[in-house]
Amino acid sequence: MKIVEIREKTVAISSPIRNAYIDFSKMTLSLVAVITDVIRDGKPVIGYGFNSNGRYGQGTLMRERFIPRILEADSQDLVNDAGDNFDPDKIWASMFTNEKPGGHGERSVAIGTVDVAIWDAVAKIEEKPLFQLLAERYGNGKPERRVFVYAAGGYYYPGQDHSKLKDEMRSYIDRGYTVVKKKIGGASLEEDLKRIDSILSVLQDGQKLAVDANGRFDLDTAIAYSKALSQYDLFWYEEPGDPLDFELQATLRNYYDKPMATGEDLFSMQDARNLIRYGGLRPDRDWLQFDCALSYGLVEYLRTLEMLRQHGWSPSRCIPHGGHQMSLNIAAGLGLGGNESYPDLFQPYGGFPDGVKVEDGYVTLPDLPGIGFEGKRDLIEEMRKLSA
Ligand SMILES: [Mg+2]
């Protein structure tokens, strides 16, 4: 068995929104198709993947380095010992040939995007959902198909006022979400607090708000927000300072004793380990948001989960960034605490298989082979254009 071809394409997911740091008017992502010679249901198995929003398409790196390394490898070296499926670890190692340690962000998105497409193919070859395969290989054998999701929105956009913000949040609640998220740091502290008050005025008992500063604040600003936000019962206070400023993050525990969340901009097990070692996060209340599609894929995510275990963290403290089905599968298969969701953004790439509804803050994953892209019609149509 062999990988016949790997195709990639950069596609637009532009949107007029902005957070405290960037706007998304020129945002793109890479779509990948891994075409194999393995036949299921009379057709070659094709694995698909994409990187989540925020880091742009990665085609050049894939074309120049990572795809050729896979295709030039002896196909015998890319399969498992039984010879009946591809081995994601071996394929990952082939992509990482002649790569220096450190500097992970340079290539972690490109490798991660190919890696998730490989896992889609591997699970399809076993004719089972990826969450089932993960639970059997790395978990307790029993996936939890019901996964917590929260609605990420509350971006800044032209013409937004408080009534539109409340309407937006109400629409998430009406669609079954119990936790909604709003961006902060793109306006003054005073204005952000007014917006938070507006949103809280439409939430009921059992519904919560999370806020996300997207790494915008210096230490003084982060402390000022910490003190001001302490008056609320927020679901979390996310990414206050620069993602690599672990001392800033650690300092904030002296000013904010409620849940915090961070990690979406750390792209390797080693970077995640530094956050755990030096970021002062608390395993009894804080949340980790590492996103497999941006950080070397699922092979690396398994290493990160093992690192967390060694440091006394449960996988249930992880609620990944990105709002994609790759992380939904990890959550269901390996017991993560949930997943991000963008109900109105980044379509058709985000979201759930058709017919999956959010109920009381949870979705239930259907039985679809692989990651489950075939269950989302608008998405699989885009993917099949690439592999046709
Ligand atoms: Mg964020």
Q: Which CATH number fits domain 3-127: 3.20.20.70, 3.30.9.10, 3.30.390.10, 2.60.120.1440?
A: 3.30.390.10
Q: What is the mean pLDDT of the chain?
A: 97
pLDDT in tens, 24-59: 889 999 999 999 999 999 999 999 999 999 999 999
Which residues keep their CB under 5 angstroms from ion ligand 1?
A: 212
Q: What percent of the chain has pLDDT over 70?
A: 100
Q: Is the pTM of this model over 0.85?
A: yes
Q: What is the pLDDT of residue 345?
A: 87
For domain 137-387, the question of CATH label 3.20.20.120 is answered with yes
**Residue 72 Cα, ligand 1 centroid: separation in angstroms?**
37
With residues binned 3-state (H G I as helix, E B as strand, rest as coil), the percentages for the chain, rounded to 5, are 40, 20, 40
Q: Catalytic positions, please?
A: 183, 321
Q: What is the dihedral of CA 113, 350, 242, 59, to 10 degrees?
A: 30
- Residue 150, phi then psi, degrees to nearest 5: -125, 155
* Closest to 36 in 3D by CA, of 122, 115, 109: 122
Residue length of the chain: 388
Q: What is the pLDDT of residue 258?
A: 98
Check if the beta carbon of residue 337 is closer than 8 Å to that of residue 308. no
**Residue 367 Cα, ligand 1 centroid: separation in angstroms?**
29
**Residue 239 Cα, ligand 1 centroid: separation in angstroms?**
6
Q: What is the pLDDT of residue 350?
A: 87
Mark the ranges of the chain whose per-residue pLDDT is less than 50: none
Element (H, E) at 213: none
* Closest to 212 in 3D by CA, of 159, 289, 318, 327: 289
Where do the structural domains in the chain lie, given as residue ranges?
3-127, 137-387
Q: What is the pLDDT of residue 135?
A: 98
Q: What is the pLDDT of residue 157?
A: 87
Burial class (CB in 10 A: 0-12, 13-18, 19+), 170: middle
Q: What percent of the chain has pLDDT over 90?
A: 93
**Residue 214 Cα, ligand 1 centroid: separation in angstroms?**
5
Q: What is the pLDDT of residue 340?
A: 97
Distance of CA 282 to the CA centre of its chain: 21
**Residue 342 Cα, ligand 1 centroid: separation in angstroms?**
12
Strand partners, 47: 34
* Closest to 116 in 3D by CA, of 39, 30, 43: 30
